[in-house]
Amino acid sequence: MKAELIAVGTELLLGEIVDINSPYLAGKLADHGINLYYISIVGDNRQRGLGVLQQALKRSDLVIISGGLGPTDDDLTRELVSAATGRELVEEPRVWAELEQWFLRRYGEDYHIPKHNRRQAQFPRGSRILGNGSGTAPGFLLDMGGKKLIALPGVPGELRDMFTREVEPLLPSLGGGRRLVTRNLNFVGIGESKLEELLGDLLATQTNPTLALYASGGKLRVRITARADSPEGASALIAPIEAQIKERAGEYFYGRDDETLEGVIGKQLTMRGLSLAVAESCTGGLISHTLTNVPGSSAYFERAFVVYSNRAKEDELGVPRELLKRYGAVSAEVAQAMAEGVRRQANTDYGVAVTGIAGPGGGTAEKPVGLVYIALASPGDTIVERHLWRGSREEIKHRTMLAALYLLWSQSKC
C-alpha cells in the first residue's frame, strides 16, 4: 500500500508554525509496515488544495490529511474532499447535537453558537465519523474501494488522540499484516565517506533489510530497516547485517537508536567507578553542559572550570605563566597543562581540557580561527590532539565538544 500525507495550512508555509503532525504520522505508518511515498504541505487555497488532493488520490492508496477542519471559511478540507471525490457534503445530526452540547457545557445555556460551527457537522457522503475527544473538529474516513482517505484535525494533541483511538486500530489490516522495524547504529570519529567505503558492498546490495547512511552534527547514523510478518521476524533479518557493520566499523560505533555519546560515556565511567573534571576555554561550558545532561552524572562528574583568560588558567588550574608566555594560550603545551591541572585540582581519574580560537575574530596566520587543542589527562599519561575546524563560532564550539567527548569515550571504554 502506498500512503501519502497532506498537511493543510498557510501558517505552515509562512513558517509561523512547524509541521509536527507529519513526522508523527510517518512514524506510525512505518511501525505498521505501510509505505509512505509523499508528504505535501499546501496553504488554505481552494485551487491549489484541490490539485494536491487530486494528485494524491491518483497515485496513492491511503491519503491522510491533517488540518483544515475548523469552522472558518479558510478551513477547506471538507469541501476539497467533496470536490475531489464527487461526494456531496451532508450534515450529520448526531454530530451537530454533540457539538451543541459541547458549547453549552463550556459556555452555558445563554451562549449563541456561531453559525459557522455548523460546518463542522458536515461530511462527504458515506464518511465514517472519527470522534474528537478534546476539540470541536471531528475527523472522517472515506473508503473508496481500493483507496482510503482520512481527514484529521491539525491541532497536534487532537490529531494524536484521534489517531490513537480511531485510526491506528485499522493500520494492521492496511499494512497487510507486515511490520516494519528500524534500527539505528550510531558512529562518531569517522568521516561519512570513510564509513561508506567500509560498508560499500552492503549498501550496494541492500534489499530487505535496507540500509541508509546519514550525517548530522559530526555524528553518523546507519539506519537498518526490515519488513517481516512480525517485529521478531524483522529483528531477525536485521541481526546479521548489524553484526557485519559492527565487525567492519566497530571502533567508531557507540550506541543504538536513542543512545547518546554522553550517555554511553556516563555508563562507561559509572561501570568502572571513574571520575571526571573538565576545563574549558573556547567552548565556554558546552562540554560540561552536555555531560551533565545525563541523569545521574553526579556519580562521575566532579567539577568544571571555564577559564577564558590567561589569569584564570593560572589561578584555577595552575598553568605556569612562563608556559602561557612562551607557547600562547592556544597550544598543545597549555592544553596539556590545563588537563593535568584540572585533574589535579579535582582529584579525579580523568581531566579533559580544550583551548582554541572559535572566531570569528582572533585568528592569525600561525593560529587561524578554528584551531583547537584537546587534552585528556589520565593516571597513565596525557593525550593531546590538534584540530582545525571550519564554520561559524557555534559550529566550531560544537565540533570541539564532540571531539572531546569522542576522545574521552575512546579512552574510557572497558
pLDDT at 230 over 90: no
Q: What angle do CA 118, 136, 72 make, to 5 degrees?
A: 55
371 touches 330 (CB < 8 A)? yes
pLDDT of residue 133: 84
**Tens of pLDDT, residues 275-329:** 999 999 999 999 999 999 999 999 999 999 999 999 999 999 999 999 999 999 9
pLDDT at 105 over 90: no
> What is the SS3 assignment for 182?
strand
pLDDT band at 126 (very low <50, low <70, confident <90, very high): very high
From first CA to last CA, the distance across the chain in angstroms is 47
pLDDT of residue 201: 94
Please provide the DSSP assignment of 285-299 as one string: THHHHHHTTSTTGGG
Q: What is the mean pLDDT of the chain?
A: 94
Q: In which order are the strands placed within the sheet that holds 350-356? A: 301-306, 276-280, 350-356, 371-377, 382-388
pLDDT of residue 99: 84
pLDDT band at 177 (very low <50, low <70, confident <90, very high): low
User: d(Cα 237, Cα 232) in Å, to the nearest integer?
Assistant: 9
Crossing angle of the two packed helices 46-59 and 77-85, in degrees rounded to 10: 50
- Give the domains, in start order, of the chain with CATH numbers: 2-174 (3.40.980.10), 179-256 (3.30.70.2860), 261-412 (3.90.950.20)
**Tens of pLDDT, residues 142-166:** 999 889 999 999 999 999 999 999 9
Report the percent of the chain where pLDDT is more than 70.
99
| Residue bearing the bigger pLDDT, 104 or 213 | 213
